[in-house]
Amino acid sequence: MRGVPSVKDYLPFIVVGVTAGSLYGLAGMGLVLAYKTSGIFNFAHGAIAAAGAFAFYELHATLGWPWPVALIVALGVGSLVFGLGMERVARAVSGARAATTIVATVGILLFLQGGLTLLFGSQTRDFPQFLPTETFKLSSVHVQYAQVIVAVIGVGLAVALYAFFRFSRLGSSMRAVVDSPSLVSLTGTSPVQVRLIAWIIGCGLALLSGILIAPTLGLDASLLTLLIVQAFAACAIGRFSSLPLTYAGGVIVGVLAALATKLVASTPSLNGLPSSVPFLVLFAVLVLRPPKVMARIGDVRRSVRRVATVPSQVPIAAVAVGLLALCIVPFVVGSRLPVYTNLLAFSLIFLSLGLLVSTSGQISLCHAALAALGATTFSHLTHGAGMPWLLALLLAGLATVPLGAIVAIPAIRLSGIYLALATFGFGILMERVVYPTALMFGGRGFRLAPRPELGFVDGRTDKGFYFVTLAVVIVACVAVFVLIRGRLGRMLRALSDSPTALVTHGLSVNVTRVLVFCLSAALAGIAGALLISFPGQASGVGFASFQSLLWVAVIAIVGRRVLPAAFAASALLVLIPAYLPDSLLQYQTFAFGALAVAVAVLGQTDWRARVRGRSERTPVRERTVARRAELVTS
């Protein structure tokens, strides 16, 4: 097979790539459409596509409806239901900070994916191709009619949508809503209605892409949900604004991934390459072409509410009671002690996430990957290099810092959405490409790590390890407390109020943002080390990229006081399920998703003001700040 590869060798891959790419482009256009008109970036877009595929499957394969009827019903009903629902959620969180909007749509993702898994189970089902599968010869390649139909639908819709926006009245209202909703409403068009239509079309495109891609991908809720990454990459090429370019971007991603598949066939060491193509494209666009259009955040309505991330007074009594309780736990819980050790280790994960989300308003959707890196580094250092336990623990934390910086630096120059996007893609890339390498979990898929023997306490017993973990958690809590009570905390609060003012007073705010991200990464790394040391071994499964989403949902549910929230979130994720019957465990994703959405939506109402009988939604002063992130570069 060596020698000069001819075009003929590549043609089959290009055909496959264009077909798949058309669907990525369709999904991407739906995403851009809704994002442009509502300002809300929908992380649940892939989950909606999955729901569409399942609905169609039920109607067509299970109930035996003819496919055109099933398609029309699934698309029509689905886009109305999801469009209405998404618009409600988007409207509720529209004035909130970026982190809240991300949590809301990640919550919907979890809710849908959890729900689909509950209904249909988690095994992949075959999804019969319903379009004609007869082939014809194009040059030397057999092409299915289904592939042609899919590509034609993609191109057709891209052209139709482009024309719609350019030439129709509703299309221009949609473009106008992006620039100024209030002006649009002055001209007698309701911005809410315009956005609703955008959401309906956007969700419709998601559903259609899900239904069309399921025959090749198989019917699997989590696989279909991850279709979003390809759509992200398509959007990035379309600069999150141009529909035709987004479609083209989808095709580019599809073709590149297909060509990578061919490359892998001859070079097996590049196994993870095809699935990481979309992420590489996304990252390349963020790094190389940080487009100005992307950075515009639009109108931000904010309220003056003092959100206490740290109390002004230390509640000494509460801290003492908590500490005392944690100290007597090993003597009263008996065989459940491992649950409590996990509780402590996870409280460190949530401390790390809370530090990032609550104080700086940034979000990381790759915390599981950071923790995994901490765990495997710890394994290399102790089990591999024989380093002392405590030193290895610290180094495991330090090792994650450069990784955090690599992800954060390109994305942080832009706005919150792009950090979420970059970290989301990065988490998946790590899981698929780096986890299986010798750098991390290796070919066997797991790593070993010892427990500590620290002279004064023997960590090899469960009780001993519990106290070691407790000590680490206490040190981390004190460190975080000191940091956010001091200068860094002040800077971060000011940053969430007015980055512009902070920059014009001399602070390089991006340094501050990256700094917090790196601190958070270090804590996650230490937590990962504890999570591998306790059971003695760990595999990539516990650090699946999906966990990152779940963790973000959980931390959003419990509130914004960093320290109590860390323990509350950990209790929600680890402790409560341990006391519930196992049969309830399958509802976890679903329930956390629903709760995260509810908290994000309801959190926008100032309930205390409501109780006091005030009519305004925001208590003191409402102001509209046309914020341009492009002005906040330093």
Partner 1 sequence: MTEGLQAQDVTVRFGGSVVLNGVGVNAPLGRLTGLLGPNGAGKTTLFNVCSGLLRPTSGTVRLFGEDVSSLGPAPRARLGLGRTFQRMELFDSMTVDENLVVATEARLVGARPERQLFSTAAERTQTRSAVDDAIEACGLGPVRHELAGTLSTGWRRLVELARACAAGFRLLLLDEPSSGLDGEETERLGTIIRGLVDERGTGILLVEHDMTLVMDVCEHLFVLDFGTLVFDGTPAAAQTSDVVRAAYLGSESGLEAAEHEHEAAEVGSA
Binding residues for partner 1 (CB under 8 A): 302, 304-307, 483, 486-488, 490-491, 493-494, 496-498, 500-509, 511-512, 515, 620-621, 625, 631, 633-634
For residue 139, what is the DSSP state?
A: T
Shortest gap between Cβ of 392 and partner 1 (angstroms)?
24
Shortest gap between Cβ of 627 and partner 1 (angstroms)?
10
* 149 versus 515: smaller Cβ distance to partner 1: 515
Shortest gap between Cβ of 416 and partner 1 (angstroms)?
18
Amino acid at 64: G
Residue 220, CA distances (Å) to 106, 181, 215, 427 in order:
18, 39, 11, 20
CA nearest neighbour of 431 among 372, 375, 379: 372
Distance CA 555, CA 560 (A): 8
Shortest gap between Cβ of 498 and partner 1 (angstroms)?
4
Distance CA 355, CA 510 (A): 16
Pair 565, 546: CB distance under 8 Å: no
Shortest gap between Cβ of 611 and partner 1 (angstroms)?
19
| DSSP run (H or E) holding 6 | none
130 phi, psi to nearest 5 deg: -100, -15
* 22 versus 360: smaller Cβ distance to partner 1: 360
Pair 572, 557: CB distance under 8 Å: yes
453: three-class secondary structure by DSSP: strand
DSSP assignment of 163-195: HHHHH-HHHHHHHHHHH-HHHHHHTT--HHHHH
Shortest gap between Cβ of 515 and partner 1 (angstroms)?
5
Helical pair 416-429 and 545-558, crossing angle rounded to 10 deg: 140
Q: Three-state secondary structure along 329-342?
A: HHHHCHHHHHHHHH
* 304 versus 475: smaller Cβ distance to partner 1: 304
447: three-class secondary structure by DSSP: strand
Q: How many CB atoms lie within 10 A of CB 620?
A: 11
Shortest gap between Cβ of 518 and partner 1 (angstroms)?
9
* 298 versus 450: smaller Cβ distance to partner 1: 298
* 177 versus 480: smaller Cβ distance to partner 1: 480
Shortest gap between Cβ of 382 and partner 1 (angstroms)?
29
Contacts of residue 41, Cβ cutoff 8 Å, sequence gap at least 6: 31, 35, 101, 102, 105, 417, 420, 421
CA nearest neighbour of 131 among 23, 2, 263, 284: 23
Shortest gap between Cβ of 628 and partner 1 (angstroms)?
9
Shortest gap between Cβ of 111 and partner 1 (angstroms)?
31
Helices then strands (H, E): number in the chain?
28, 6
* 138 versus 625: smaller Cβ distance to partner 1: 625
* 509 versus 573: smaller Cβ distance to partner 1: 509
* 213 versus 509: smaller Cβ distance to partner 1: 509
For residue 543, what is the DSSP state?
A: G
**Residue carrying structure tokens 């259609």:** 208
* 199 versus 517: smaller Cβ distance to partner 1: 517
Pair 113, 589: CB distance under 8 Å: yes
* 122 versus 634: smaller Cβ distance to partner 1: 634
Shortest gap between Cβ of 619 and partner 1 (angstroms)?
9
* 390 versus 625: smaller Cβ distance to partner 1: 625
* 535 versus 559: smaller Cβ distance to partner 1: 559
Pair 375, 449: CB distance under 8 Å: yes
Give the N- to C-terminal CA distance of the chain in Å, as an integer. 53
For residue 452, what is the DSSP state?
A: P
Shortest gap between Cβ of 242 and partner 1 (angstroms)?
18
* 394 versus 503: smaller Cβ distance to partner 1: 503
Residue 457, CA distances (Å) to 131, 462, 532, 578 in order:
67, 11, 19, 27
- Cβ burial of 612 (10 Å; 0-12, 13-18, 19+) is exposed
Shortest gap between Cβ of 406 and partner 1 (angstroms)?
16
Distance CA 89, CA 380 (A): 45
* 357 versus 544: smaller Cβ distance to partner 1: 357
Shortest gap between Cβ of 171 and partner 1 (angstroms)?
22
**Residue carrying structure tokens 């058309």:** 22
Beta bridge partners of 144: 135
Shortest gap between Cβ of 130 and partner 1 (angstroms)?
49
Distance CA 278, CA 267 (A): 20
* 498 versus 539: smaller Cβ distance to partner 1: 498
620: three-class secondary structure by DSSP: coil
Distance CA 444, CA 539 (A): 9
Burial pattern 294-325, b for ≥16 Cβ within 10 A else e, equals bbbbeebebbeeeeebbeeeeeeeeeeeeeee
* 302 versus 383: smaller Cβ distance to partner 1: 302
Shortest gap between Cβ of 525 and partner 1 (angstroms)?
18
CA nearest neighbour of 414 among 462, 449, 362: 362
